Amino acid sequence: MATPRKILVAGATGYVGGRLVVRLLEAGHEVRVLARNPARAREYRWSDWVELVTGDVLDRNSLEGVFDGCSVAYYLVNSMVQQHDFERSDASAAVNFRDAADAAGIERIVYLGVMGGDGGLSAHLASRHRVGHILAEGATPVTELRAGVIIGSGSLSFEMLRYLTEVLPVMVTPKWVRTRCQPIAIRDVLFYLVGVVDDAEPVDRILQIGGPDVVSYRELLHLVADVSGLRRRAIIPVPLNAPSLSSRWIGLVTPLPSPIARPLVDSLREEAVMTDAAIDRLVPHEPIDLRTAIELALRKTSSQAVETRWSDAGFIPAETMPGDPEWAGGSTFTDHQTVETTASPSALFEAFARVGGDNGYYVLGWAWRARGIIDRLIGGPGLRRGRRHPVDLRSGEALDFWRVTKVEPGRELVLEAEMKVPGRAWLSWTIEETEHRSPQIRLHQVASFAPRGLWGRAYWFSMLPFHWVIFARMARSIVRHAEAGPERTAEGGA
């Protein structure tokens, strides 16, 4: 039985962190969550059982006092999904976190890194290793767990593998398909992360973690196809690595945008196989086999019981809306649709909160699919990210080529576009209730666009004919479905 401690978690709204908080609470620990935007953290079901503190690892001053009273701190921050100079962001954040931990005198930092050698590394692997080195340069003992491919519903690596096998019966692949790796299930990663808390020896450690199976990426792709019930995929390797070409190809057929796929693909050339089993002495455990891990991940994906997803990271704060200083002095174009209804606020909210994913967008499904395909071709996420859950939404998560920036059940939903457009775009729904008019409920649907340059304005005006057709019909369809009852779902599925 673990000794209960007060633990700080940085990166709790990411893929691993969102799940780790639950396991720490189950183990009897008191958890404090460091969040750049606490409103986002409050969307998680564990938020009622943790202490939320505001702070940003890139802002040294904001970390003052956040470690007070804690004995252990988890560092699960990764800047790669930000896509802009992630190496510098990684290093700066690690320095700030290390110094703040040292000043507070905590017992240990636990960091989740990545497996791979120390020489000739890709930018992604080198940055993750450098973070571990920076943290270990401080006075606080650091336990760095290094994992390879993490297999779990919603994980970055698994989503890439799953989509590649589902979409492509024939793959022409670079040399990295021959690289060996030692995948590990997300449940085993979480077990090790929780287990190392009890390490009382004040020393720095680098511990490799992996499952029982060592395979090449080619064998891994075949196994994912087999467990998925698909025909064996034809994988034709070519004698090139070509990370730029691979990232564009992966960006086209998987939910990963090309800028994120590039550093990930570049790291696949590095063998990720355990060379040291020291973890077994510190945290005795038998990880599940690779086939079982894939089966569990696919089962959760198909049942839409995904706890967290890789795309939960890279959150755009809800306050970032047209009118912020970044857009001051610029134009914001809007399409505002207002429809009166006799539906209840809860029924109306449920109707517009179901958009996207398999539920679709109510009207002209072919047009939304075509827009998704175009977005994929030019490097955007397209519609392949889908929805985490068919009806539930939380602030910060991805929804097709949108990001949920605000959700207020029974009243409001705001989506910000992550598709490739020359500017920034939002789509929002707000319920207005009045006392002096019948019917007393109005739906406000607003599509907003803050253009960038002349091309941005040209883009908006060229799309106006489509907007007039799509947005007006969408608002009316949402109201009709709300009035018809919960058995109706969005048509025109994407």
Characterize 349-367 residue by residue with b for buried, 16 or more Cβ atoms within 10 angstroms of its Cβ, and e for exposed.
bbbbbbbbbebbbbbbeee
Token pair belonging to 64: 């003052």
150-151 vs 184-185, strand pairing mode: parallel
152 against 1, higher pLDDT: 152
Q: What is the pLDDT of residue 330?
A: 38
pLDDT tens per residue across span 457-475: 788 888 888 888 899 899 9
Residue 427 has pLDDT above 50, yes or no: yes
- The partner residues of 423 in beta bridges, in order of sequence, read 451
Quick check: 387 and 358 in contact, CB under 8 A? Answer: yes
Distances (CA, A) of 477 to 190, 334, 390, 469: 44, 20, 18, 12
**How many whole angstroms separate alpha carbon 275 and alpha carbon 267?**
18
**How many whole angstroms separate alpha carbon 289 and alpha carbon 291?**
6
Q: Give Cβ neighbours of residue 388 (< 8 Å, ≥ 6 apart).
A: 154, 304, 306, 309, 397, 398
Token pair belonging to 203: 């020393």
246 against 463, higher pLDDT: 463
Q: What is the pLDDT of residue 465?
A: 83
pLDDT tens per residue across span 137-183: 999 999 999 998 899 988 878 888 887 787 777 777 777 778 889 99
Characterize 294-322 residue by residue with b for buried, 16 or more Cβ atoms within 10 angstroms of its Cβ, and e for exposed.
bebbbebbeebebbbbbbbbbbbbbebbb
pLDDT band at 29 (very low <50, low <70, confident <90, very high): very high
pLDDT band at 358 (very low <50, low <70, confident <90, very high): confident
- The partner residues of 430 in beta bridges, in order of sequence, read 412, 444
Estimate to the nearest angstrom the gap between the alpha carbon of 107 and the chain centroid: 30
Q: What is the pLDDT of residue 327?
A: 29
Residue 317 has pLDDT above 60, yes or no: no
**How many whole angstroms separate alpha carbon 189 and alpha carbon 298?**
18
pLDDT tens per residue across span 87-146: 888 899 999 999 999 999 999 999 999 987 655 567 778 888 999 999 999 999 999 999
Q: 158, exposed or middle or buried, with CB in 10 Å at 0-12, 13-18, 19+?
A: buried
Q: What is the pLDDT of residue 404?
A: 92
Q: Give Cβ neighbours of residue 204 (< 8 Å, ≥ 6 apart).
A: 136, 141, 142, 143, 144
Domains of the chain (ranges plus CATH)? 6-312 (3.40.50.720), 325-484 (3.30.530.20)
Q: Give Cβ neighbours of residue 362 (< 8 Å, ≥ 6 apart).
A: 355, 473, 474, 477, 478, 481, 490, 491, 492
Residue 313 has pLDDT above 80, yes or no: no
Q: What is the pLDDT of residue 262?
A: 65
**How many whole angstroms separate alpha carbon 95 and alpha carbon 482?**
51
Quick check: 283 and 173 in contact, CB under 8 A? Answer: no
Check: pTM over 0.95? Answer yes or no: no
Quick check: 369 and 386 in contact, CB under 8 A? Answer: no
For helices 258-267 and 243-253, angle between their N-to-C axes, nearest 10 degrees: 130
Token pair belonging to 232: 């064996």
pLDDT band at 78 (very low <50, low <70, confident <90, very high): confident
CA dihedral 478, 479, 480, 484 (to 10 degrees): 100
Token pair belonging to 148: 């390879």
Residue 63 has pLDDT above 70, yes or no: yes
Size (the chain), residues? 494
What average pLDDT does the segment 39-47 reach?
A: 85
Closest CA to 291 of 210, 218, 226, 209: 226
| Element spanning 75, H or E | strand 72-75
**How many whole angstroms separate alpha carbon 358 and alpha carbon 400?**
10
Q: What is the pLDDT of residue 213?
A: 94
Residue 433 has pLDDT above 90, yes or no: no
Q: What is the pLDDT of residue 454?
A: 62
pLDDT tens per residue across span 375-425: 888 888 888 788 888 888 888 888 999 999 989 998 999 999 998 888 889
Closest CA to 253 of 179, 152, 162: 162
pLDDT above 90: percentage of residues in the chain:
42
